[in-house]
Amino acid sequence: MAARPRSHKISIPNLYCKLDKRTGKVYWQYKHPLSGRFHSLGTDENEAKQVATEANTIIAEQRTRQILSVNERLERMKGRRSDITVTEWLDKYISIQEDRLQHNELRPNSYRQKGKPIRLFREHCGMQHLKDITALDIAEIIDAVKAEGHNRMAQVVRMVLIDVFKEAQHAGHVPARI
């Protein structure tokens, strides 16, 4: 059997018509695709089709923008460079410390005290990737300082390298190691 002929053929998605049997009028309504709620559009067929078409395009644009923003965020996360070398990071770290010094968040003596540990770290591990540095590498630096008889300086080296890695974690170059 063939389908019965339709007096109101609707080709627009989410647009529905209802016949009021008491008055014989056709009322148009739009179903919001996300919330599922119906919104009355009145009795004018052309106006209802125009409003439904506009609503569908607006919702499609919003979905497209949302998908594109998610894709861009994923691309940024994939493209984020986490393989920074120790030398590159130490240059950034020094600029961060200089900025802290200018804003009086760091004392001049503390800034000067960080010079030797940074220089030692650069000499021992300068061309390695920051994420590839292990506790063994740090222990070698500290043990070399202790072997010279500078126990207090070894403590300072340890403290400064901890701060270097905390800043690297904050910047996202090194994962947090618990």
Domain boundaries of the chain, sorted by first residue: 15-79, 86-171
- Using CA atoms, how far apart are residues 95 and 73, in angstroms rounded to an integer? 28
| pLDDT tier at 167, thresholds 50, 70, 90 | very high
Looking at residue 14, what is its pLDDT? 93
Token pair for 169: 């974690």
pLDDT of res. 164: 93
At 178 the pLDDT is 47
Nearest to 81 by CA among 139, 145, 131: 131
* 172 phi-psi bin (left φ>0, alpha ψ -120 to 50, beta other): left
86-171: CATH superfamily: Tyrosine recombinase, N-terminal domain (1.10.150.130)
Q: 15-20 and 38-42: which strand pairing?
A: unpaired
Please state, in angstroms and rounded to a whole number, the distance separating the CA atoms of residues 83 and 69.
25
pLDDT in tens, 16-71: 999 889 998 999 999 999 899 999 999 999 999 999 999 999 999 999 889 888 88
Q: Residue 87 CB: number of other CB atoms within 10 A? A: 14
Using CA atoms in the order 81, 97, 95, 174, what is the torsion angle rounded to 10 degrees?
-10
The pLDDT of residue 31: 95
Q: Is the pLDDT of residue 156 over 60?
A: yes
| 88-107 residue pLDDT tens | 999 999 999 999 999 999 89
